[in-house]
Amino acid sequence: DKWGPELRIMGGVDKMVLGRSREDIRRLLESLAPYVERGGFIPFCDHRCPPNVNPDDYLYYLDLKEKLFGLKA
């Protein structure tokens, strides 16, 4: 790896998935786990969420992200 542990990336969470089901949200976050475990990657919804995202599902996303990765939003 050219940049090694110095490179940090935030993002990668498809905001459109947050408007689907909780199972879809779980699958998305689980698919990002290898990148988080490798280090230098913080999963993050990097733009405003669409209006179809249920606030309770957004809170589910935040809670699950903290549970899976130990990250506070």
| pLDDT over 80 (residue 4) | no
Cα distance between residue 23 and residue 47, in whole Å: 22
pLDDT digits (tens, 9 = 90+) for 10-54: 999 999 999 999 999 999 999 999 999 888 899 998 788 899 999
| pLDDT over 70 (residue 61) | yes
Which pLDDT score is estimated for 73? 53
The owner of tokens 């209006």 is: 51
Which pLDDT score is estimated for 8? 87
Determine if residue 40 is left, alpha or beta; phi over 0 gives left, psi from -120 to 50 gives alpha, anything else beta.
Answer: left
Can you give the residue ranges of every domain in the chain? 4-69
